């Protein structure tokens, strides 16, 4: 068994070397032809993300008015001044306002992009579409009204037929009436066998869709080649690992079988195939951590985290993702920076949500815990 695993790891290593060295010869000299302007705009957006100085000032705010004032000195400008601080749900309104700006920037980028980059940005939207579809379908199960659900959807994941998702009664109808014409249509291949839309099945459907999407995205980036393949390969294998860990830890204590869990894991990533096999068989959180401590870079991250006690696995992974994002900006002429910017911007919105919630609930001592940049 030992010799088989060493041979497999040697093959994996060879594959990775082959992937890294087969790049585009004239990539640097031809990238700017179509995508130079859009990449430069994106780097401008990245430069105006909130930095440590902004966060330090905002963490010291006493109330939401102060927070709004600080936000107006950043690139958010006067957008947040319309949010009424006195009313209910102000933190949600504030974050929605900021999210709108993000979506506007993203749509500008997509407008200016052509060809391959346009498809890349479309693929970046798909996880939001998946979340929206699951949100609407589960809302319908609980008999909520469609307009309310549509308001809760993430704006990046809107597509034309989304309002008509509410009419479907079961999976087959959902697929054949609505989803087959949307960008999500091709991801439904594997999950049509489930008939009823119950809560459990919805989660499985969501994870199955994510798995299909990640594998499709990986194939797309490999076809693009060059530095994009290298950078996005890193991002997507991290994403695959992260989803595997999330599925394993969320299904602890549920009746999901080992084989079911394995079918939800992606067929690549640094945990594929042996780590995923071990994760599928893990019965509790300690076993999951034990499996992770055999694989790099998770062993190094867990070692660092255990020194700083009480750090959740989610936070460790978020920190690692932010590091990968910042690294990707050190290379030019690739599409990985677009993905990295989306992730960094979403983290910034989560930070703002955390800060405003802490201010509203008067938990100033915990305000620094949730802020990552």
Partner 1 sequence: MDYEYWGLVFRHISPYMWASLGCALAIGLSVAGAAWGIFLTGSSLVGAAVKAPRITSKNLISVIFCEAAAIYGVITAIILQTKVEDVPIGSDGEWSVKILKAGYAVFGSGLCVGLSNLVCGICVGIVGSSCALADAQNSTLFVKILVIEIFGSALGLFGVIVAIIISGMERNTRHVSFSLLLQNSFC
Residues near partner 1, by CB under 8 A: 28-29, 32-33, 36-41, 43-45, 47-48, 332
Cβ at position 318, least distance to partner 1 in Å: 24
Cβ at position 36, least distance to partner 1 in Å: 3
Cβ at position 123, least distance to partner 1 in Å: 22
Report d(CA 55, CA 63) in Å as an integer: 15
Cβ at position 38, least distance to partner 1 in Å: 7
3-state secondary structure of 24: coil
* Contact present, 336 and 228 (Cβ < 8 Å): yes
3-state secondary structure of 115: coil
Cβ at position 109, least distance to partner 1 in Å: 10
Q: Between residues 47 and 185, which has the closer beta carbon with respect to partner 1? A: 47
* Contact present, 269 and 241 (Cβ < 8 Å): yes
Which residue, among 22, 12, 18, has the nearest Cα to 269 in the 3D structure? 12
Percent helix, percent strand, percent coil in the chain, to nearest 5:
75, 0, 25
Cβ at position 300, least distance to partner 1 in Å: 29
Report d(CA 353, CA 270) in Å as an integer: 32
* Contact present, 143 and 222 (Cβ < 8 Å): no
Please identify which residue in the block is written with the tokens 């790099």: 296
Cβ at position 333, least distance to partner 1 in Å: 8
Q: Between residues 46 and 350, which has the closer beta carbon with respect to partner 1? A: 46
Cβ at position 330, least distance to partner 1 in Å: 11
Q: Between residues 38 and 202, which has the closer beta carbon with respect to partner 1? A: 38
Report d(CA 222, CA 229) in Å as an integer: 5
The HSE-up count of residue 179 (CA atoms within 13 Å, CB side) is 26
Please identify which residue in the block is written with the tokens 């549509």: 150
Q: Between residues 29 and 200, which has the closer beta carbon with respect to partner 1? A: 29
273 preceded by a cis bond (ω within 30 of 0): yes
Q: Between residues 44 and 297, which has the closer beta carbon with respect to partner 1? A: 44
Q: Between residues 75 and 138, which has the closer beta carbon with respect to partner 1? A: 75
Report d(CA 308, CA 363) in Å as an integer: 22
Q: Between residues 40 and 303, which has the closer beta carbon with respect to partner 1? A: 40
Q: Between residues 105 and 241, which has the closer beta carbon with respect to partner 1? A: 105
Q: Between residues 30 and 81, which has the closer beta carbon with respect to partner 1? A: 30
Residue 50 zone, left/alpha/beta (φ > 0; ψ -120 to 50; rest): beta
Cβ at position 113, least distance to partner 1 in Å: 12
Two tokens, residue 71 = 């936000």
CA-based end-to-end distance of the chain: 43
- Give the alpha-carbon dihedral of 333, 335, 336, 338, to 10 degrees: 120
């Amino acid at each position: 068994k030992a010799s088989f695993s060493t041979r497999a790891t040697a093959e994996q290593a060879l594959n990775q070397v082959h992937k890294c060295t087969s790049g585009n010869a004239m990539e640097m000299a031809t990238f700017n032809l179509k995508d130079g302007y859009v990449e430069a705009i994106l780097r401008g957006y990245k430069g105006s993300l909130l930095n440590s100085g902004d966060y330090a000032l905002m963490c010291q705010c006493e109330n939401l008015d102060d927070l709004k004032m600080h936000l107006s000195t950043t690139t958010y400008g006067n957008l947040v001044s319309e949010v009424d601080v006195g009313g209910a749900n102000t933190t949600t309104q504030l974050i929605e306002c900021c999210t709108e700006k993000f979506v506007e920037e993203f749509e500008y980028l997509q407008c200016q992009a052509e060809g391959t980059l346009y498809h890349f940005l479309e693929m970046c939207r798909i996880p939001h579409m998946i979340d929206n579809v699951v949100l609407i379908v589960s809302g319908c199960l609980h008999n909520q009204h469609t307009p309310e659900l549509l308001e809760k959807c993430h704006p990046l994941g809107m597509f034309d037929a989304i309002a008509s998702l509410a009419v479907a009664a079961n999976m087959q109808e959902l697929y054949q009436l609505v989803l087959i014409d949307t960008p999500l249509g091709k991801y439904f291949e594997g999950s049509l066998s489930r008939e009823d839309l119950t809560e459990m099945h919805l989660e499985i459907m969501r994870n199955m869709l994510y798995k299909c999407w990640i594998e499709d995205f990986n194939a797309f980036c490999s076809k693009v080649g060059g530095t994009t393949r290298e950078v996005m390969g890193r991002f997507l294998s991290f994403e695959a690992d992260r989803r595997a860990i999330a599925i394993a830890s969320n299904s602890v204590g549920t009746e999901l079988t080992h084989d079911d869990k394995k079918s939800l894991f992606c067929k690549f990533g640094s945990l594929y195939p042996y780590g995923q096999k071990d994760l599928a068989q893990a019965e509790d959180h300690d076993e999951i951590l034990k499996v992770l401590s055999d694989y790099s870079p998770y062993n190094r991250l867990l070692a660092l985290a255990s020194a700083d006690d009480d750090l959740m696995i989610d936070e460790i992974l978020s920190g690692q993702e932010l590091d990968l994002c910042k690294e990707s900006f050190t290379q030019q002429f690739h599409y990985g920076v677009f993905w990295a910017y989306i992730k960094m911007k979403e983290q910034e919105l989560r930070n703002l949500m955390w800060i405003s919630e802490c201010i509203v609930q008067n938990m100033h001592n915990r305000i620094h815990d949730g802020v990552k940049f």
